[in-house]
């Protein structure tokens, strides 16, 4: 399979259930896509939703955040694949875990920093997440667990960045 040759994320229930034999695949797979439609859909999501979050975090923190969410999505997928134990090799590509990390950050903001988003923006966040889960359940080629893992990673990482920012503000004053 060509995707594996070029850096796709791979787990095998017996030989490498958590993808740890080649850990670099946790990151390289985030930059790979299964086709032009997959790439364009992810590009659209990044172009629409990433810039406001990047402004909130700052560019360097955002890059770190985005990559960690992609890795987190792959890690959650590996854990969930092992629990499911369907017996087959799991191959994953795409930036969806990282993109769902962005959605997870917006979910955090929608729930705990409501003043930063207007009501319609909060509704948009909820709608995207609901439709994303439904789509992930209905489309067999989509890795639901990478989406869930990326969203959880984004939610938790954004919370950590917020705490660090608040702590830094307290120390400066």
- Catalytic residues, by residue number, are 96, 147
Element (H, E) at 46: helix 36-57
User: What's the token pair of residue 156?
Assistant: 């938790």
Picking from 57, 151, 144, 159, the residue whose alpha carbon sits closest to that of residue 101 is: 151
Residue 144, Cβ neighbours under 10 Å: how many?
A: 18
> From CA 1, how far away is CA 75, in angstroms rounded?
21
Residue labelled with tokens 């003043």: 115
């Amino acid at each position: 399979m060509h995707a594996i040759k070029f850096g796709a994320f791979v787990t095998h229930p017996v030989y490498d259930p958590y993808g740890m034999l080649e850990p670099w695949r946790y990151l390289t797979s985030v930059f790979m896509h299964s086709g032009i439609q997959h790439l364009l859909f992810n590009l659209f999501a990044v172009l629409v939703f990433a810039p406001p979050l990047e402004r909130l975090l700052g560019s360097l923190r955002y890059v770190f955040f985005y990559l960690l969410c992609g890795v987190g999505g792959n890690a959650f997928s590996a854990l969930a694949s092992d629990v499911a134990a369907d017996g087959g090799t799991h191959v994953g590509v795409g930036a969806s875990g990282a993109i769902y990390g962005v959605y997870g950050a917006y979910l955090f903001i929608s729930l705990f920093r409501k003043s930063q988003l207007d009501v319609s923006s909060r509704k948009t966040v909820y709608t995207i997440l609901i439709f994303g889960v439904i789509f992930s359940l209905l489309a067999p080629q989509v890795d639901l667990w990478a989406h869930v893992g990326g969203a959880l990673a984004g939610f938790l990482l954004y919370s950590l960045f917020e705490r660090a920012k608040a702590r830094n503000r307290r120390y400066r004053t």
